[in-house]
Amino acid sequence: MKNALLTFCFLFVLVMNAVAQTGPANPAVEKTCNSVTRLMVQSIGLNESEYLQVKTLNQQRLVKAAEVAKMYSNDAEMRDTRLKEIETTFETELFKLLNSRQVEAYSEFKAKPEGNFLSMVKEVSKAGKN
């Protein structure tokens, strides 16, 4: 009985450790990702499956952007170049998911302040420094 209880406790600790490691490394990225993806759902008209895929793309994009912003904080030209590459990759993957009406709606969303990628990066970078 003691061995079973000890084994259970050990397994519980291992599982909790694994769960804790899969959490967001940067809460600002998670928060920005959630809010941007919700706004995209409203503006573009995504279904649930598309929402999940777009949220993953947004999260990948923001994590990479936060890393680039930190890595090239003293080199604005290189930072901007890398951010443009990230945005181009994101849009390529996004356009594979969307229909033509949704692509057009995304273009309109992107022109709004809340859809501006650089402002998202600034928000994530600023929050990451705190």
Please state the pTM of the whole predicted model.
0.74
Q: What is the pLDDT of residues 23-61, one digit of tens each?
A: 456 888 899 899 999 999 999 999 999 999 999 999 999
Q: How far apart are alpha carbons 114 and 39 in whole angstroms?
A: 8
* Per-residue confidence (pLDDT) for residue 68, from 0 to 100: 93
In this predicted model, which residue has the larger pLDDT, 126 or 15? 126
Task: Please tell me the total count of domains within the chain.
Answer: 1
> Is residue 5 in some structural domain?
no
Q: How far apart are alpha carbons 77 and 66 in whole angstroms?
A: 16
> Is residue 68 in some structural domain?
yes
Tell me the residue range of the domain where 90 lies. Answer: 26-129
> Is residue 3 in some structural domain?
no
Amino acid, single-letter form, for residue 62: L
pLDDT band at 21 (very low <50, low <70, confident <90, very high): very low
Q: How far apart are alpha carbons 36 and 54 in whole angstroms?
A: 10
> Is residue 6 in some structural domain?
no
* Per-residue confidence (pLDDT) for residue 80, from 0 to 100: 92
> Is residue 19 in some structural domain?
no
- Residue pointed to by tokens 């994009």: 61
Burial of 35 (0-12, 13-18, 19+ CB in 10 A): middle
> Is residue 89 in some structural domain?
yes
pLDDT band at 1 (very low <50, low <70, confident <90, very high): low
Q: Quick one: tokens of 88? A: 């181009």
> Is residue 16 in some structural domain?
no
> Is residue 14 in some structural domain?
no
